[in-house]
Structure 1
Amino acid sequence: MTARPASEATPSGKPRARALGIPFAGTPGALNAITDLPGLAVGYETLIHGDGALRTGHGPVRTGVTAILPRGRDGVGNPCAAGMVSLNGNGEMTGTAWIEETGSLDLPILITNTHSVGACHTGAIEWVVRHYPKLAEAWLLPVVGETWDGYLNDINGAHVKPAHALRAIDAARPGAIEEGSVGGGTGMNCYAFKGGCGTASRVVPYGPHRYTVGAFVQANFGSRHELTIAGVPVGRELADDNPMETRRQAAPAGAGSVIAIVGTDAPLLPAQCKALARRVGMGLARTGTTGSHFSGDLFLAFSTGNEGALKSRFSEGEPAKDEFDQLRFVPWGRMDPFYAAVAHAIEEAVVNALVANATMIGRDGHRTPALPHDRLVALLRKRGVIS
């Protein structure tokens, strides 16, 4: 049996959106993942154990930690130009005041559940202290983003420890990555189907150059009736089997949040990274969401171009006469293809998070169904989207 290419299947063999024939705009990279960026590494720590009724502190546990290292393990402390945007602020992403101030990012990015931000923040600092003690002599402001997994997970049980954050960072590797219910996305839901982690990438030709725009989402947002795939409002036709939005103790429809990370190897200014982050909302809208008050929609974008610039650590002595940073960047008037790449990659990353998934039962018997592949394909075929 011939193995599917990375664009169609995760390393464990779970199907991705393209395996169902779903069409998307733009040209993906070889892996169709944020790890198409040279050197970038992703790691997961997945926590699944326990069943039955909720007993805070005892489970059930359906959560975890995701780590993204923009320049890989060896590039920590080497800044990337960066910018952050909040579409809706009912969420948290630490370290962003410093990104706003300096336009740079030089530490691992962690994503987890809402009540585990502190543990992951502590774990990120411990990891840097262990592996980059010189860097830790100054100050450390890690980026930790979150979405709420309390429908399926014992979110108040403090199950995520600093050690789990360390293990997620240590597990970070380049190459194809898993999607669905892994890492920080383990207990997440999207459009009232099982959601979680999703990724995609796009190649942007630029004269003789080819740059990559990669996207990663922790998808935990949207109401069932909104779901749109390949331009078809499929959520209306898949409205049955929706326990998350019909049971009384569930969160309001559309609640949850989404963290999106966008990376590119194109040389960009910090303000251009922020402009990329702003286009994440365009990609999310292509999947149907209009943005809920109860959803924290926080987006971070970075560029690995201009390596060695934007350092803002303690200086020593007087500046040399030629001590200046120099930034090479894509002209603002040439940014449109990169904006399009963000919207297209984010759209596919969300659909990948839905497709590469399975039904999950968590706390108090709460159940989230998986997106039904056969019914989805039938709907898209009926509309002539796929053959």
Structure 2
Amino acid sequence: MRVRDLGVVIGGGTPGPANAITDVAGVRVGHTTVIRGDGPLRVGEGPVRTGVTVILPHAGSIFDEPLYAGHHWLNGNGELTGMAWVREGGMLTTPIALTNSHSVGVVRDALIEIEVRGRGRGAWGLPVVGETWDGVLNDIDGQHVTAAHVREAYDAATTGPVAEGNVGGGTGMICHGFKGGIGTASRVVDGGWTVGVLVQANHGRRERLTVAGVPVVIDDVPRPVPPEFEGAGSIIGIVATDAPLLPHQCRRLAQRAGLGVARTGGAGENTSGDGFLAFSTANRGHLPSDALGVQPPRVLTVDVLPDAYIDPLFYGAIEATEEAIVNALLAAETMTGRDDITAHALPQDRLLAALTRR
């Protein structure tokens, strides 16, 4: 179930064919979901409710054909590796992966292994891996995500519709006091450009949840954690576009994803890690790759969208982020994890009732 399946339209923009980040040509997404065990927590054994999601930015090798990129933190109590080089060099040079907080290292190393495997020779890369905390439902200290899981998600990455909810890196996540996870959406904006967003949603307080501008008050569904602990989670958002943007414009686009979080009631709380990365596929093949070891020309020619035409992309990123979060909530199913803690799905009938009372 997605929000538009309920007849609810968020914003005035037009989604792409799949209403997903994969509507940006060449972008592919793959998941590995790891679920096993029930009952009391036994660190290293389970129960396990976790996974990994991999985003491939274009149809070729991102190691050989980097893209302009930029990032933004709404609140920095989180991790998105490789951002020092994105900030300094303005380029995305590796795939992107999302997982739980304690599995960032193994996922990062696995992406390096994939690069070496693909080249068969020496490689250089600073992989981009984002995380959110799934320790409410998952044996997070057991570090159950393996390199094999990363390779599986990488090899499964495809275009078209994207699985949402309790999948991949979003498997054990909680959002606004309900079951959360992976969500995605897109917008086709003036000029024919596409903006796509994918989120790993593990943030927000229940009493702040807002959908399509309407406060959603659902108090009688049991919460997985006490209200005072809600808002301690995080959200990672990946924004893709085929508009020809320079690195500083990608950073500005990433910043707008934070406004989409705010429209659903997120506030970048003190203990939340809210990070966003935006990249442009437009100049693929025009940018030099340090990995290739080839001397680039002294002058590069790239396509650039003048800032005078960038506002529609901003609006698209805001709306797609908002819709991706709601899609994550609606796609997620009730899940019972460690110590029999249950995160309940957002009730669709109750959501519709709240929206029709506006």
TM, length-normalised to structure 2: 0.96
User: Does 1:144 find its partner at 2:118?
Assistant: no
Matched, 1:79 2:56: no
Gaps of 5+ in 1: 1-14
Paired letter, 1:264? T
Q: Please tell me whether residue 22 in structure 1 is matched to residue 22 in structure 2.
A: no
Give distance in 2, aligned partners of 1:224 and 1:239: 8
Let me know the Cα RMSD of the aligned residues.
1.5
How far the C-alpha of 1:72 sits from its partner, in A, is 3.0
| Partner of residue 265, structure 2 | 288
SS at match of 2:354: helix
The residue that corresponds to 1:300 in the other structure is 277
1:215–1:98 CA distance, 2 compared to 1 (3 A): same
Q: Which amino acid counterpart does residue 115 of structure 1 have in structure 2?
A: H
Q: Give the secondary-structure state (helix, strand or coil) at the position aligned to 2:225.
A: helix
- Number of residues paired by the alignment? 357
What is the SS of the residue equivalent to 2:30? strand
> Partners in 1 of 2:295 and 2:287 — Cα distance?
18
Pick closer, same or farther for the CA change 1:67–1:318 going to 2, 3 Å: closer
- The aligned counterpart of 2:220 is 240
Give the partner amino acid of 1:289: G
Which of 280, 296, 302 is matched with 1:327 structurally? Answer: 302
**Other-structure match for 1:212:** 194
The correspondence for 1:257, drawn from 216, 234, 240, is 234
Alignment of 1:1-387 (within 5 A): 15-25=1-11, 26-72=13-59, 74-134=61-121, 137-206=122-191, 210-234=192-216, 237-246=217-226, 252-313=229-290, 323-383=298-358
CA contact (8 A) 2:63 2:291 kept: no
The ranges of structure 1 where at least 4 consecutive aligned residues each deviate by more than 4 angstroms after the TM superposition are 73-76, 314-319
Distance of 2:300 and 2:99 partners within structure 1:
34
TM-score by length of 1: 0.89
Q: Which moved more, 1:374-383 or 1:109-118?
A: 374-383
* Larger of the two Rg values belongs to structure: 1
Identity %: 54
Comparing 352-361 with 307-316, which one deviates more in the overlay?
307-316
- Looking at structure 2, the residues matched to 138 and 154 of structure 1 have their Cα atoms a distance apart, in angstroms, of 33
Partner AA of 2:168 in structure 1: G
Taking a change above 3 Å as real, the CA distance of residues 120 and 21 of structure 1, as seen in their structure-2 partners, is same
1:123–1:164 Cα contact (<8 Å) kept: no
Q: Is the 8 A contact 2:66 2:92 kept in 1?
A: yes
Give per-residue Cα distances to partners, 1:14-69, cap 9 Å, x unaligned. Answer: x1110111111111001100000111110000000100000000100000000000
Distance in 1, Cα, partners of 2:135 & 2:36: 15
The answer on whether the counterparts of 1:41 and 1:73 sit within 8 Å (CA) in structure 2 is: no
Letter of the 2:140 partner, please give it.
I
Deviations 1:332-351 (A, max 9, x none): 12111110000000000000
In 2 relative to 1, CA 379–328 (structure 1 residues): closer, same or farther, beyond 3 Å? same
Unaligned runs of 5+ in 2: none
Question: Once the two structures are superposed, what CA deviation does each residue of 1:311-336 show, in whole Å capped at 9, x if it has no partner?
Answer: 241676876xx532122111012111
Whether contact under 8 Å (1:72, 1:173) holds in the other structure is no
Query: 1:172 & 1:330 partners in 2: Cα distance?
Result: 29
Alpha-carbon separation, structure 1, partners of 2:27 and 2:336: 33
The one-letter code of the counterpart of 1:218 is: Q
Distance 1:72 1:152 in 2: 35
